[in-house]
Amino acid sequence: MSRDTPRPLPPTLAAAALAFALALAAALPPWARAQGGPGKPPPVLADPAPAATTAATAVSWKLRHTLRGHEGAVYSASFVPGGARVVTSGDDGRVRVWDVRTGKLLRTMEGPGGTISDTAVSPDGRLIAYCTDGGDVAQVRLVDARTFRLRRALRGHAGGVFEVVFSPDGRLLASGGRDRVIRLWDVATGRLVRKLVGHDDAVTALAFTRDGRRLASASAERDNTVRVWDVRTGEALHTLAGHDEWVTSVAFAPDGVTLASGGRDHKLITWDVRAGRKLREQRQPQMVYEMEFSPDGRVLAEAGGGGLVRIHDARTGKLLTSIRAHTEEINEVKFSPAGSLLLTASYDATVKLWEPAPRAAGADGKKPPAKWME
C-alpha cells in the first residue's frame, strides 16, 4: 500500500460515519435527497410569498392589479398552472389572457358568438376549454392555450352550457348547463364518455375532488340540490338537500371529504360527502355566487352580492376578513396555485388581483417584515 492510499477506517469508526451519513440524508428535504444533495431548490410557483402572507394568515388584502378590457360582465376567471397567467371570459364573447406580474393583456380570442359563460385551463396548461350560453354554435370547445387554434368542438348539449371543469389528471372534461345533463368528455379524442342524469333543473356548478374520483354538481331553482357522483361508474352517491333557492357554487376542500355549497338563499353550507350529511349551515348577508378553498385547505373564500369577498376559517366557519372588491356582484373568486393571490371577477366588467396586505407595525407587537419596509 502506497503512502498516498488512504488507510481503511477501523470498523467502529466506519460504522459511526455511515450512521452519520444516513442521519444527514434523512434530515434533508425530499427535493434535496432526490437531487443527491442540497443543490437546487424545488420549483417555485409564479406567485411566491412568505408563509406569513398566504391566504391562511392574511389579516387584510390589498389590490395588486385591476384588469380592464371586457365589455360587459365577466363570468369566468382562472389561473393557469403555475399562476403566471389568468384566463377570463364573459358577456362580450371573448376569451382574454393576462400577465399576473404586470396586469397587462397578452391575447384576446373572439368566440363563436354568444356569452362565454365559463373557461377552464387543463392541468398541463396546454388547453383552454370554454362554453357558451347562446348562439347557434357548438357549446363546448377546446382550443390550444398558446395559439387559440381549435382542437375539439364537443357537441351534445341541448341549450346553453354554464360550466366546464377539467379532471385533475386532465383526461376528462365535465360540462353542464340548461339541459340538466352533466357530460363527461374524453379530452384526447373528444368522445362522450358518460352522461350523469338526475338533476331537475339546469346544472349551475361543477367541482372534482383532487383525486378525480368524485364530482359535485349544483342545480337551479326547480331542483336546489347538490349531488355527488362516482366519476368511474356515473352513480349518484348522494343528493344533498338544504338550499331553498338556486345553488350557484360548489367547492371541494383538498381532503376530498368536505364540500361547500352556496346559493341565492344566502346560505353557505358545509357537507361531509363520505356520510352525505350537513356539517354546518351559515347565513350570509348576501347571495353566495362563487367560492373556493385555499390550496392548503385552511380558509374558504366566498363572494357574490354586494361586491364583497368574505374569507372564512374552513374548519370553524368563522369570518376572518372581508374585501369590498367590486361595485357589483362577483361572479368568480379563485386562489392562485400557491395561495398567495386572490382573483375576483364581476358584473362591473373588471377582474381584480389581490395580495395579502402587510401588517401595520405594532399590530401584533412586532415590526413588519423587512420586505415591506423597502
Q: Which amino acid is at 312?
A: H
CB distance 192 to 183 below 8 Å: yes
CA distance 75 to 230: 28
Reduced 3-state DSSP string for 260-306: EEEECCCEEEEEECCCCEEEEEEECCCCEEEEEECCCCCEEEEEEHH
Mean pLDDT, consecutive 10-residue stretches, the chain (374 aa), reads: 39 45 39 32 42 65 97 97 97 97 97 94 98 80 97 94 98 97 98 98 98 98 97 98 97 98 98 97 96 97 96 96 96 96 98 86 40 28
Q: What is the predicted pLDDT for the residue at 56?
A: 65
Model pLDDT, residue 27: 37
Report the alpha-carbon angle 147-153-155, nearest 5: 160
Specify whether the CB–CB gap between 287 and 248 falls below 8 A.
yes
Residues facing 169 on adjacent strands: none
Q: What is the DSSP string of 80-133?
A: PTTSSEEEEEETTSEEEEEETTT--EEEEEE-SSSEEEEEEE-TTSSEEEEEEE
What is residue 129's predicted lDDT score, i.e. its pLDDT?
98
Contact 73, 347 (CB under 8 A): yes
pLDDT at position 58: 72
The residues near 241 (Cβ < 8 Å, ≥ 6 apart) are: 224, 225
pLDDT value of residue 47: 55
The contacts of residue 30 (CB under 8 Å, 6+ apart) are none
Set of cell numbers at residue 56? 391562511
Residue 308 to residues 68, 76, 316, 327, 336: CA-CA distances in angstroms?
19, 17, 20, 9, 19
What pLDDT is attached to residue 22? Answer: 43
Report the candidate in 247, 240, 169, 238 with the shortest Cα–Cα distance to residue 202.
247
Q: Contact at 8 Å (CB) between 250 and 271?
A: no
What is the end-to-end Cα distance of the chain in Å, rounded? 62
Contacts of 206 (CB under 8 A, 6+ apart): 163, 164, 165, 174, 175, 176, 182, 215, 216, 217, 218, 250
Parallel, antiparallel, or unpaired: how do β-strands 277-283 and 288-293 relate? Answer: unpaired
What's the whole-model pTM score?
0.82
Q: What share of the chain is helix, strand, coil (3-state, %, to 5)?
A: 10, 45, 45
196 contacts 156 by C-beta, under 8 angstroms: no
Count of CB atoms situated within 10 Å of the CB of 105: 14
Query: How does 154-185 read in b/e, with b if 16+ C-beta sit within 10 Å?
Result: beebeebbbbbbbbeebbbbbbbbbbbbbbbb
Q: Which domains does the chain have, with CATH numbers?
A: 52-356 (2.130.10.10)
pLDDT of residue 136: 63
